Structure 1
Amino acid sequence: MFAACGGKDNKDNKADTTKVVVAPPSGPGTPIKIDSSKRYIYLTWDDAPQPPGTNISKAIFHEQGVKATFFMVGMHQFDHRRKMIVDSVRNAYPEFLLANHSYTHGFRNNYRQFYSHADSAVADFQKAQDELKVPVKIIRLPGNNNWVFKGEINGPKIPREVCKRLDSLGYSVVGWDVEWRFKGNSTPIQSATQLAQEVNDKLDNFTSFTPNTVVILAHDRMFAPAQYADSLRRFITILKQDPRNVFETIDHYPLIQQQK
């Protein structure tokens, strides 16, 4: 809002010198207060930038009024159009958050080779951090559902040495509770209703990694076809029907906030 100024009908003909001070928006990684009566849902989309799926997902999230996190791959930012997508996500905080999904996606899906060479794997993540200008030290490992917070490492053993090194460098590593799986050419397997039920089961049965939270993994490219974009809309609409559900970016995950 702007302060009003004296107009022609102002008999004193004095300008209003009242100043409106607007606090700058909090930057990525700034902790928020967690409401214990709410259930926090983290939409985390992997492998961006992948047009048109990334753009379509962004548009749906914006239309639905929900926050989301895009874990991006450095080597996918190879032309001007894709760099613009990366910039658009980075600049859209607090609606969207840009996070790190490595530079080469685990040596182009060669995960065993990638994680068996810890030095080069860590360098790969750091290259992505620099080239994508990732504003937070939050990583998702390609191909592995690992969680790392303050020295606590959970998940498959193969990336363990890489996890230790990332932890020593101050990174959080985030896995997922529910995956929107796909088959063939990135065709979603579960319907919107089925996936919403999986989310509710995790929350109701306290089987997610952290109680009252669910981290959902999907991939941008899955939602390029119109029919699957509609499924994404439907999925979010179902979850929004429960007033307890709050959509947040992954920098506001409770265990990450505790590291601040």
Structure 2
Amino acid sequence: MRNLKPIFHAGVCIALLAACNSKPSNDKTAADTTKTVAAAPAGPGSPIKYDSSKRYIFLTWDDSPQPPGTVVSKRIFKEQGVKATFFAVGMHYDIDPVRKRILDSIRNEYPQFLLANHSYSHGFRDNYNKFYTMVDSAASDFAHAQQQMNIPLKIVRMPGRNNWAGKGEFRGPKSSEKVARRLDSLGYQVIGWDLEWQFVKGSAPKQGAAEMVRMINDKFESGYTNQPNTVVILAHDRMFGKAPYTDSLARFITLLKQDPRNVFETIDHYPSVMNK
């Protein structure tokens, strides 16, 4: 029996080596090595590639959070599968916990929604003449809003003024240009608008859905916009809090989606912002 032990041990080793070297088709370890790791979702400010055959529409809603309008607009955008930017006001955010949760949800739902800066005090509570003559205070007001609402990018819209500023280029009213220049020097992009969905008394939309679509088409066809092949639309959250204006917003987007050239984007993908 002593003479058989070495033979037995050798046989076991050979069998073990054969088992280790074999590669069955259902080997989980081998299969795991072929898995592709999903890329992390891009954050705010990530670039996109423009398609020259498309028309880019930027839905930008001001004065958030203003329930129920903010909540309703957000729901319609989600149902329609379109992107939008909410320019928020710090003093509205600080009113109560409900408004904080609304704005926090916008911040957390990128890439569909982008949160941007519309100042803390909304121009000293609409006292625009004073706000834009006090350059240091105005700049501090935007900085406070940026920090208070944890806004991801330095993109602002100036209350009550259609100013554009970035890369040393300035457009808009002279009365607010000094503040626009100060914000530009601090690294902010100032975004105006090409077309406003206006409101009348009681914050009711002035134009109907079909009229707004016609006006957008006219803008694209004339090329009279701040950047080629793009239209930035301004509206206010509070306009769409109640029927029938809720239905008007839904119809507006439905009509725009009927044109396959139309693409909806958040304002961090506006050409001048991406190229800063």
Instruction: Return the TM-score normalized by structure 1.
Output: 0.93
- Aligned pairs for 1:156-195 within 5 A: 156-195=173-212
Q: Does 1:59 align with 2:67?
A: no
* Matches of 1:170 and 1:11, distance apart in 2: 57
Task: Kindly state the Cα deviation for residue 195 of structure 1 after the two structures are TM-superposed.
Answer: 0.5
The worse-fitting range, judged by mean Cα deviation, of 29-38 and 50-59 is 29-38
Task: Kindly state the Cα deviation for residue 31 of structure 1 after the two structures are TM-superposed.
Answer: 1.1
* Matches of 1:145 and 1:11, distance apart in 2: 65
Task: Kindly state the Cα deviation for residue 55 of structure 1 after the two structures are TM-superposed.
Answer: 0.5
Gaps in structure 1 of 5+ consecutive residues? 1-9
Larger radius of gyration: 2
Task: Kindly state the Cα deviation for residue 20 of structure 1 after the two structures are TM-superposed.
Answer: 3.4
Task: Kindly state the Cα deviation for residue 209 of structure 1 after the two structures are TM-superposed.
Answer: 1.2
* Matches of 1:11 and 1:150, distance apart in 2: 58
* Matches of 2:139 and 2:27, distance apart in 1: 65
Question: Matched residue pairs, number?
Answer: 250
Task: Kindly state the Cα deviation for residue 17 of structure 1 after the two structures are TM-superposed.
Answer: 2.4
RMSD: 1.3
Select the residue among 36, 52, 56 that pairs with 2:52.
36
Task: Kindly state the Cα deviation for residue 35 of structure 1 after the two structures are TM-superposed.
Answer: 1.0
- Aligned pairs for 1:1-260 within 5 A: 14=28, 16-18=31-33, 19-77=35-93, 78-259=95-276
* Matches of 1:199 and 1:14, distance apart in 2: 56
User: Which stretches of structure 1, 4 residues or more, deviate above 6 A after TM superposition?
Assistant: none
- The 1:12–1:122 alpha-carbon spacing in structure 2 relative to 1, beyond 3 Å, is closer
The AA in structure 2 aligned to 1:91 is: N
* Matches of 1:232 and 1:202, distance apart in 2: 19
The answer to which structure has the higher helix fraction is 2
* Matches of 2:144 and 2:174, distance apart in 1: 24
* Matches of 1:165 and 1:29, distance apart in 2: 22
* Matches of 1:114 and 1:167, distance apart in 2: 17
Identity %: 62
- The 1:55–1:14 alpha-carbon spacing in structure 2 relative to 1, beyond 3 Å, is same
* Matches of 2:272 and 2:62, distance apart in 1: 20
* Matches of 2:130 and 2:121, distance apart in 1: 12
Q: CA offsets, 1:171-218, max 9 Å, x none? A: 110100110000111010000000000000000110111111000000
Gaps in structure 2 of 5+ consecutive residues? 1-23
